[in-house]
Amino acid sequence: MRTLRFLLAASPLVPALLLSVSPVQAGPVAAQTPVAAIEAWLARPDAARRIDDPALARPLSRAEADRALALLGAEHLRATAARYADAVAAKQITIGDKTLKWESKVFGNAAPGKRSLWISMHGGGNAEPAVNDQQWRNQIRLYEPAEGIYLAPRAPTDTWNLWHEGHIDPLFQALIDAQVAVNGVDPDRVYLMGYSAGGDGVWQLAPRMADRFAAAAMMAGHPNESSVLGLRNLPFAIFMGGADAAYDRNRIAADKTAELDRLHAADPDGYVHMSRIYPGLPHWMNRKDAEALPWMAGFTRNPWPKRIVWLQDDVTHDRFYWLHIPDAAAAKAGDQIVASVEGQVITLTGTVPAGAELRLSDRLLNLDRPVKVIVNGRTVHSGKVARTGLAIEQSLRERADMASVATGVVRVR
What pLDDT tens digit does each residue of the chain (413 aa) get? 344 444 444 444 443 333 334 444 444 555 689 999 999 999 999 999 999 999 999 999 999 999 999 999 999 999 999 999 999 999 999 999 999 999 999 999 999 999 999 999 999 999 999 999 999 999 999 999 999 999 999 999 999 999 999 999 999 999 999 999 999 999 999 999 999 999 999 999 999 999 999 999 999 999 999 999 999 999 999 999 999 999 999 999 999 999 999 999 999 999 999 999 999 999 999 999 999 999 999 999 999 999 999 999 999 999 999 999 999 999 999 999 999 999 999 999 999 999 999 999 999 999 999 999 999 999 999 999 999 999 999 999 999 999 999 999 999 98
Instruction: Compute the distance between CA of residue 194 and CA of residue 210 in angstroms, rounded to an integer.
Output: 15
* Res 386: pLDDT: 98
Domain boundaries, the chain: 2-88, 91-297, 307-411
* Res 10: pLDDT: 43
Exposed, middle or buried by CB within 10 Å (0-12, 13-18, 19+), for 383? exposed
* Res 413: pLDDT: 81
Between 3.20.20.80, 3.40.920.10, 3.40.50.1820, 3.40.50.2300, what CATH number should domain 91-297 receive? 3.40.50.1820
Cβ 166 vs Cβ 317: under 8 Å = no
Cα 10 to Cα 15, 146, 212, distances in angstroms: 9, 20, 18
